Amino acid sequence: MSGPKTEIPSRVLIVRLGAIGDVVNALVVAAALKQARPAPSIGWVVHDLASPLLRGNPCVDRVHVWPRASGLGGLRALLRELRRERYELAIDLQRLAKSSLLARLSGAPRVLGFDRARCKEFSWLPTTERIPPADPHAHMVVQYMEFAAALGLGEPKPVHPLPSDEQANTRAEVLLAEMGAAPILVNLGASKPANRWPEPRFAQLARRLANELAVPVCVTGGPADRDLFASTLESLNGATGVTDLVGRTSLLELHALAARSRLFVGCDTGPMHLSAASGLTCVVLFGPADPGRTGPFGAGHRIVRVPPACAPCNLKHCNQTRHACMEDISVDLVLSEVKAALSPA
């Protein structure tokens, strides 16, 4: 085992399968590699959910989609596809057994991963090179940028390149015209149940934002959130100044809308990272996770947090008798942070 070589080969594969927020943050590695001279051709292996963030991305030349439900046949087809590309370096940014094995089986002679202390599931074993040990509590964008430094790229500014889609931009402009002004996005969902705020409070917050601030409010979320937050959406039906877009925007449409909005409000979730990368200021409700590590990257964001002694636990499901870290975040507290975020400096 050796440290990473600083030579940048002509063909590089990035393995970061998901989720949405992780893929958004990992884009800084592709952007840094594209600053090398000569710039390499970059491929990326991703699950289908986050693939729209890579197709048409200015820093990704080849997208390899690994459908989650494709089974062994899908894996074999993917490996054939990867080996045809003759990648010279595979970078495992996910540090799981499946991602590191995929990087090794891609056919690339060099496989670069995290140092052993930060790896999970023995994922250091398939690597041939590792970045030096560093702070595991640093923001994930900072940790991803360690790959750029290890490859001899210095310390470029982290950039999150995202594709621009004409249809998505057009729809965002239409929505903006219908609302009459830039909205506040209130995102309902979070893939981890422990990251979710109590459902009734979202309706209260959306109504108060629209009424007290006299600004349009867009309620957003994924398709599954229409069922998870059915009572919230029912109570907001017909609410003045509130537009229901839950499950009704693609990722690129959400990106286009975020780039034209005035604020994002929501929990620790992929759309939060997408909104931050789109240049939107975020007010984020944090419970079980460490906002210093997985919060919105960049300046000006505000974290709403009332941490109990057990936080951060990073659990998917709360194991306490009371989900205090999220339940103790009141509507008044969130509203206060929103007002502060919108106030002139």
In a domain, 156, yes or no: no
Same-domain check for residues 140 and 197: no
Same-domain check for residues 183 and 332: yes
Q: Are 283 and 297 in contact (CB under 8 A)?
A: no
SS (H, E, C) 66-126: CCCCCHHHHHHHHHHHHHHHCCCEEEECCCCHHHHHHHHHCCCCEEEECCHHHCCCCCCCC
Q: What is the pLDDT of residue 2?
A: 58
In a domain, 82, yes or no: yes
Same-domain check for residues 170 and 137: no
pLDDT of 249-301, one tens digit each? 999 999 999 999 999 999 999 999 999 999 999 999 999 999 999 999 999 99
Same-domain check for residues 146 and 198: no
Same-domain check for residues 19 and 93: yes
Same-domain check for residues 219 and 252: yes
Same-domain check for residues 68 and 145: yes
Q: pTM here?
A: 0.94
Domain hosting 66: range is: 11-150
Two tokens at 206?
A: 């959306």
Strands of the sheet containing 62-65, edge to edge, are 62-65, 41-46, 11-15, 89-92, 110-113, 129-130
In a domain, 155, yes or no: no
pLDDT of 58-112, one tens digit each? 999 999 999 888 888 899 999 999 999 999 999 999 999 999 999 999 999 999 9
Q: How many domains does the chain have?
A: 2
pLDDT at 345 > cutoff 80: no
Q: Which carries the bigger pLDDT value, residue 97 or residue 18?
A: 97
The CATH number of the domain where 193 resides is what?
3.40.50.2000
Same-domain check for residues 135 and 258: no
In a domain, 5, yes or no: no
